[in-house]
Amino acid sequence: MFDFVQEKRRLVQIVLALIILPFAFWGVTSYRNSSGTAPLATVNGEKIGQQEFDSAMNQQQQRVREMAGANFDPAFFDKPEIKFSLLDRLVTQHLMAMEAKKVGLSITDEQVGQIIVNIGAFQQDGRFDRQRYEAVLRDKGKTPSGFDAEIRQAVLLQQLTESYTQNGYAPESIAEKLIHLNEQQRVVAIADLDAAAFVKQVKLSDGAVSEYYNKNLQEFQLPERAQVQYVVLSSDSLLSQVKVRDEEVKQYYEEHQADFGTQEQRHAAHILITVPKQASDAEKQAARTKAEQILKLVKQSPAKFAALAKQYSQDPGSASNGGDLGEFGRGAMVKPFEDSVFSLKVGQVSDLVQTDFGYHIIKLIAVKPAKIQALAEVRDMIIQQLKLQRANDMFAELAEKFNNTVYEQSDSLKPAAELAKLSVQQGVWLSKGQPPAGLWTDKVLQAVFSDDAIKNKRNTAALEVGPNKLLAARVTDYKPASVRPLTEVSAAIQQKLLQLQASELARQQGRDFLGKLQHGEKPGVKWTAAQSITRNQRSNIDPELLQAIFSADTSKLPAYVGVDSASGFKLARIDEVKDAATVDEGKIARYEQQIRQITGDALWRAYMEDARKRASITMKEFAAEEKK
């Protein structure tokens, strides 16, 4: 394939995120903001309206649904900080797009096309498939023109970002200093004064347990608990009720045959004479003259096309294979190239074809006609599709009735369950304040522990707990918040007090030992065998102790440091310091690359901070309030 594709693999990965992890780009949605409603925000006079915000919010919710599955909680997006974060991100995107335009960044139609054809989600058997491309976009609620605009937007913003992040600076002297710091070795021995060794020394007073209990009743608080029964109405729960007739399968197949076929594929080879983007008129003419001379040779000896391609073609992706590009369908190549390929007969050679890459000489090798899969091959898929469509339709039809029945007959879930031929699920215990999970979202938990559900013994409303999924619950038993009695927790309290006091005794002795060691005394410390460590290869040493070891003054050895630990005190004896050996150029280069990345990221952040300061940005009052 053309060299551009090899150079832009990263852009293909970036644009793939537009399919997998959808997010609204301002350039695609800004046309929606032209209504008369007040904008939520403005960036240098450019408006961000409610529709753009809602579109971005919907796509973010779709993204999280795909990642979280059954654990998706719509209430998460009601949080003020989430709304503010989304609006702020839209503001940043508008600002980045303005900056990209100001500095003159651009991308050609041909480059956009090459990115699209190299996205795996659009390929069939390793080749771009237009039908698959259009089907994937339809599934994501996108159009080809809209997706084209999203690609342009994504690439331009990426170009702007990388113009800073990939241009960090890294003085060699700093790289060498970092290497010496990171690779310096210190030979250390460790002593762990653990609380377990001091437990026998602890004497608890007679009233210590009850005193702790009375002062810390909140530790022993049991939350409110409710036992619930519930009904879930969803497309999935309705699937078993859907029956699909053979005639329906056949009709769907006949009406959607385009979805079950492969488009015509053409197998071609080419010889490319490249023309640099900034080429002068003289260079362009020289390239054309060379291409014409090669075309003359091809016309004289068509059978030698592959050999001539190996000799003359400047496409690094295909020259060594005789210019062979393999099979591809419409939409896989830039338009002038495609038009020529699909106008040729098998064995025919084109005249010169000019694209942004240069001059091509094309030979059509073979044609694979379009093919439609047999009904038997796609029958199961059609049945599943029809059942899902029917279940979605049933859900849409039943949702309002289900909701009304739950509300109007609030003393039982049975009528609502019978309406949709569902079962009432029994016996689930929930705790107030428990983390949301699965069906038990924040909104459901709030409804279950409301006065209406507990005191008035009414059904909860039918609440959304996922795409096409509603849940209604009813409290069947309730236990108010309470404090566990002392008899249940006294043993645990006693163990905790022993551990706390033993830990403090360990720390006291550890600090005493450290002071003596630093003054040249030799208390009875049990050291581990000495080991050599670096900042990055620390064995099993705690981070706090490691920091103390490499911060210690080692002008006089052995040196001693110590830190409190969760269960007592840890000591370290530093016996030797070994500086890094001679540093090779390869390692310096790797460190310089890391430093460039860090400084490049810092440059980008500074640039955007400055851009925001220079910009005129306003946000509707609700955004400022919700941030708080």
Confidence of residue 121 (pLDDT cuts 50, 70, 90): confident
Closest CA to 399 of 239, 240, 235: 235
Rounded-to-integer distance, Cα 533 and Cα 536, Å: 8
Q: What share of the chain is helix, strand, coil (3-state, %, to 5)?
A: 55, 20, 25
86 and 96 in contact (C-beta within 8 Å)?
A: no
Mean pLDDT of 44-65: 86
The letter for the amino acid at 389 is: Q
Mean pLDDT of 220-228: 95
Encode pLDDT of 422-436 as tens digits: 999 998 999 998 887
* Confidence check: pLDDT of 584 > 80: no
**267 CB-contact burial (10 Å; exposed 0-12 / middle 13-18 / buried 19+):** middle
> What is the CA 611 to chain-centroid distance, rounded?
26
Mean pLDDT of 209-237: 95
Query: 0.75 cut: is pTM over it?
Result: no
Confidence of residue 621 (pLDDT cuts 50, 70, 90): low
Per-residue pLDDT, 36: 52
Confidence of residue 70 (pLDDT cuts 50, 70, 90): low
Encode pLDDT of 277-330 as tens digits: 788 999 999 999 999 999 999 999 999 999 999 999 998 778 888 999 988 888
Per-residue pLDDT, 554: 93
Per-residue pLDDT, 34: 42
Per-residue pLDDT, 459: 97
Instruction: Give the contacts of 15 (CB within 8 A, at least 6 positions apart).
Output: 115, 116, 119, 150, 151, 154, 155
444 and 470 in contact (C-beta within 8 Å)?
A: no
